[in-house]
Structure 1
Amino acid sequence: MAVHKIMIRKATSEDAQEIVAIYAPYVVKTTISFEQSVPDVAEFTKRITSTLQNYPYYIAQDEDENIWGYAYAGAYNSRTSYELTAEISVYVKQNSEHEGIGTILYKALEDQLKKQNVVNLLSNITAGNQKSEKFHEKHGFKRVGYLPHVGYKFDSWHDVIWMQKALYSDPTYPGRFIPFSKFSYGD
């Protein structure tokens, strides 16, 4: 499947239905997501709106406005001391995993999160998801944690790994976290 020119834009509530369609197979058929049932459009609308207050939520679409994937960031922990660390996620349409869409989305997230003074990125991955591990390693993430038997889905326990990437090589404090809502997309 050849995807043409991909453009990144900020998600809107109008994207919720297509996002659900991309996400649903991950919930129903895999342990990539530990959700037990597919959230409805209203729930995804709420998630998009809530995320955009503080973090980017991006859509990858082609010139015909077909949505091929999405990515977003969120708080790793709600305590202020963790405000410069974000957890990120990416989902692409199944059968388009090798089109570079995830890479384009992660690049957009990283660029924006740097502007928000985020220093560390974390990704929570179900152990055994080799595609995701290799994808993250390719983009500079290192495996930093392993939690056995923390997720239960499809009648069995699943382990989780944490991967981390530093956005800055200099550990100097860049300043307080700046919420995404303070930016005009494209700044």
Structure 2
Amino acid sequence: METNDITLRKATVADADEIVAIYAPYVAETTISFEKEVPKVEEFAKRITSTLQNYPYYVAEDDKQNILGFAYAGAYNTRVCYNLTAESSVYVKQYVAHKGIGTALYQALENQLKKQHVVNVLSIITAGNQQSEKFHQKHGFKRVGYFPHIGYKFGAWCDVIWMQKTLGSDQSYPGDFIPFSDF
């Protein structure tokens, strides 16, 4: 599969069931997600709706309109002075990893976040997830923090890595944050 065989679009609540299916193995089988229970489709529909008020939430589809991955941004912190910094997440169906889908989703996410005046993007990665750490490094993220014993899953403590990317080279104030719903 080539990345030109995929289409990116804004997620909708109708996508929640396919998104949950992609996310479920990350919850049930790995420490990549710190959720212990796979969220219900209704919960994911609420998350999509809530996210889209302020931040982008995209899905990647194949030519048969099957969702292959999703990416979204969210608030790093709810206090207003942090609103030019966002946290990002990307998940891809396990059998389509390394096909450029995550890259395409992140590029779309970052392009939109720039339009919203977001300057910094953070990603939280479970220590030991070399694939995710390398993916983020490849896309310009730098490791900026390490937090030991931050999450507990599958009977063990998990450490967390924080990675950061600055969008663009101009560090001047770009203007107030613009909610995604304004686009």
Normalised by the shorter chain, which TM-score bucket?
A: over 0.9
Q: Which residue of 2 aligns with 1:171?
A: 171
Cα deviation digits, residues 120-166 of structure 1 (max 9, x gap): 00000000000000000000000000000000000000000000000
Q: Distance in 1 between matches of 2:80 and 2:12?
A: 27
Q: Which amino acid aligns with 1:157?
A: W
TM-score, normalised on structure 2? 0.98
Q: Which residue of 2 aligns with 1:160?
A: 160
TM-score, normalised on structure 1? 0.96
Aligned pairs (5 A) from 1:127-146: 127-146=127-146
Structure 2 unaligned spans of 5+: none
Aligned pairs (5 A) from 1:64-83: 64-83=64-83
Q: Distance in 2 between matches of 1:180 and 1:46?
A: 16
Q: Distance in 2 between matches of 1:5 and 1:12?
A: 21
Q: Distance in 2 between matches of 1:81 and 1:126?
A: 27
Q: Which residue of 2 aligns with 1:125?
A: 125
Asked if residue 9 in structure 1 is aligned to residue 2 in structure 2, the reply is no
* Alignment: residue pair count: 182
Q: Which amino acid aligns with 1:49?
A: T
Deviation at 1:97, TM superposition (A): 1.1
Q: Distance in 2 between matches of 1:95 and 1:159?
A: 26
Q: Distance in 1 between matches of 2:74 and 2:105?
A: 15
Deviation at 1:168, TM superposition (A): 2.0
Q: Which amino acid aligns with 1:115?
A: K
SS where residue 95 of structure 1 aligns? helix
SS where residue 102 of structure 2 aligns? helix
Structure 1 unaligned spans of 5+: none
Q: Distance in 2 between matches of 1:168 and 1:106?
A: 15
SS where residue 132 of structure 1 aligns? helix
Q: Distance in 1 between matches of 2:158 and 2:144?
A: 17
Which aligned segments of 4 or more residues in structure 1 are displaced greater than 4 angstroms? none
Q: Which residue of 2 aligns with 1:98?
A: 98
